[in-house]
Amino acid sequence: MPQRLTFLFFIAFFVTAASAASAAEIGRIKSTRGDAHIQRDGQRVSAALDTAVRATDTVVTGVDGAVGITFIDNSRVSSGPNSVLVLNRYSFDQGTHAGTFDATLTRGTLAVVSGRMAKQSPEAMTVRTPTMVLGVRGTEFLVYAE
Amino acid sequence: MIRRAFVAAFVALLAACATPHGPVSRDRVILLSSSDGTTGAVDVQQGSHTAVLDGAYASASAGSDGALQVHRADPAATLEQFAAAIASLPPAPAMFTVYFVFGQDELIEESRKAIAQMLQDVARRPVPEITVIGHADQVGAERINDALSQRRAERVKEMLVQRGVPAERITIVGRGAREPLVRSADGVAEARNRRAEINIR
């Protein structure tokens, strides 16, 4: 019984630690249009201007929707109508500019301008579609996913 | 009902197996030239295929045989297809550096006009966020430099708030002498390290 309690305690600890890590603000919504929302921990959050974006959010736009986000490393992305952008992982150190950006455009259109972390390390930023993996070396580009 | 759904799924599975390569994905990526005129590069990987895009409008997508093909995309058609996404791209963040008098949180004369430039930049953004990072040079004790760098960041914030920027839009941090712009020996007064870096996004 005590062993089981210890085990449960560890599970609780890791779950708490994991949710604390994903709750940190990694960017803000700087532009929004039409039907757009964020899917967060099973909840639907309005993609209003100035909304904080978190590391495991999914950004969803409807038929007339568009959303632009600026991240804390100065990377910028914007998705057009009928798009689903899944943020898989994000971390950034303001001091060293080291970080990780990993996102998947499941569907729709996306514009990307890389920021400080991609300048610091060419391996830092990865954008995916269901069939492609894009490694970003300091640049601007567009992505379409069917 | 369930059985019918199962049969339908099985038929769909058979159909998928019958296609030689499976449906070809229409996913694609197109490189743009940056606003500063440079083009970076994107490494593309699709299954076992790889390609490097390194010129404006270089584009990669799967060909009819499923292999990755690189070609030059039509600029007008590209800008039309991605018009909504491009129009929603937030403005480029701006960066400023201001310098301070030795041992003080007073801006040097030449740095004062930067405050006006920052205000102009902030005014152009619908929801500006301002981060001020204060620094000290490598003269003095760590504790003193930590406090000084913090005071310098606070001073910049004060100047912006006095001129109408809402305080809650500004985040400040002091980094002491830990992140010098120019490496100098401990105890050397390097003017370029007595600074605050302001990022407006």
- Give me the residue spans of the domains in chain B: 10-88, 94-200
Measured on CA atoms in the order B115, B117, B121, B123, is the torsion positive or negative? positive
How far apart are the CA of A112 and the nearest CA of chain B, in angstroms? 8
Q: Quick one: pLDDT at residue A83? A: 98
Residue type at position B63: G
**Could B27 and A134 be called an inter-chain contact, meaning their C-beta atoms sit closer than 8 Å?**
no
Q: Among B92, B109, B90, B94, which Cα is nearest to B197's?
A: B94
**Could B88 and A94 be called an inter-chain contact, meaning their C-beta atoms sit closer than 8 Å?**
no
For an interface test with B, the pick among A53, A73, A102, A142 (most B C-beta atoms closer than 10 Å) comes out as A142
**Could B92 and A132 be called an inter-chain contact, meaning their C-beta atoms sit closer than 8 Å?**
no
Give the other-Cβ count within 10 Å of A7's Cβ: 10
Q: Quick one: pLDDT at residue B19? A: 44
Architecture of domain B94-200: 2-Layer Sandwich (3.30)
pLDDT one-digit tens code per residue, B36-47? 767 789 999 998
ipTM: 0.85
Q: Quick one: pLDDT at residue B14? A: 46
Angle of the B142-162 helix axis to the B112-123 helix axis, nearest 10: 60
What token pair was written down for B139? 């003269």
Report whether A29 contacts A61 (CB < 8 A). Answer: no
Phi and psi at residue B73, in whole multiples of 5°? -75, 150
How far apart CA A56 and CA A21 sit, in angstroms, is 10
Q: Does B78 touch chain A (CB under 8 A)?
A: yes
Q: Quick one: pLDDT at residue B159? A: 97
How far apart CA B104 and CA B194 sit, in angstroms, is 9
How far apart CA B179 and CA B192 sit, in angstroms, is 12
**Could B28 and A143 be called an inter-chain contact, meaning their C-beta atoms sit closer than 8 Å?**
yes
Q: Does B69 touch chain A (CB under 8 A)?
A: no
Residues of A in contact with B53 (CB under 8 A): 141
Q: Quick one: pLDDT at residue B18? A: 43
Q: Does B92 touch chain A (CB under 8 A)?
A: yes
Q: What is the mean pLDDT of chain A?
A: 89
Of A31, A109, A136, the CB nearest to B82: A109
**Could B25 and A131 be called an inter-chain contact, meaning their C-beta atoms sit closer than 8 Å?**
yes
How far apart are the CA of B171 and the nearest CA of chain A, in angstroms? 12
Q: Quick one: pLDDT at residue B64? A: 78
Q: Among A99, A19, A26, A16, which Cα is nearest to A59's?
A: A26
**β-bridge partners, A62:** none
How far apart CA B105 and CA B149 sit, in angstroms, is 8
Q: Does A145 touch chain B (CB under 8 A)?
A: yes
- Closest residue on chain B to A132 (Cα): B46
pLDDT one-digit tens code per residue, A9-39? 555 544 445 445 557 999 999 999 999 999 9
Read off the pLDDT of each residue in A116-123 and give the average, rounded to a whole number: 90
SS3 assignment, position A20: helix
Q: Among A120, A104, A99, A122, which Cα is nearest to B43's?
A: A122
Would you give the end-to-end CA distance of chain B in angstroms? 55
pLDDT one-digit tens code per residue, A77-111? 999 999 999 999 999 998 889 999 999 999 999 99
State yes or no: pLDDT of A51 exceeds 50.
yes
Match 């007064």 to its residue by tokens.
B189
Residues of A in contact with B92 (CB under 8 A): 76, 113
Q: Quick one: pLDDT at residue B2? A: 52
**Could B42 and A111 be called an inter-chain contact, meaning their C-beta atoms sit closer than 8 Å?**
no
How far apart CA B18 and CA B25 sit, in angstroms, is 17
How far apart CA B136 and CA B144 sit, in angstroms, is 9
Q: Quick one: pLDDT at residue A127? A: 97
Q: Does A62 touch chain B (CB under 8 A)?
A: no
Residues of A in contact with B78 (CB under 8 A): 142
Q: Quick one: pLDDT at residue B62? A: 85
Q: Quick one: pLDDT at residue B40? A: 86
Q: Does A132 touch chain B (CB under 8 A)?
A: yes
Give every residue of chain B whose pLDDT is below 70, as ranges.
Answer: 1-23, 37
Q: Does B50 touch chain A (CB under 8 A)?
A: no
Could you tell me how many helices (H) and strands (E) chain A has, helices first? 2, 12
How far apart are the CA of A22 and the nearest CA of chain B, in angstroms? 20
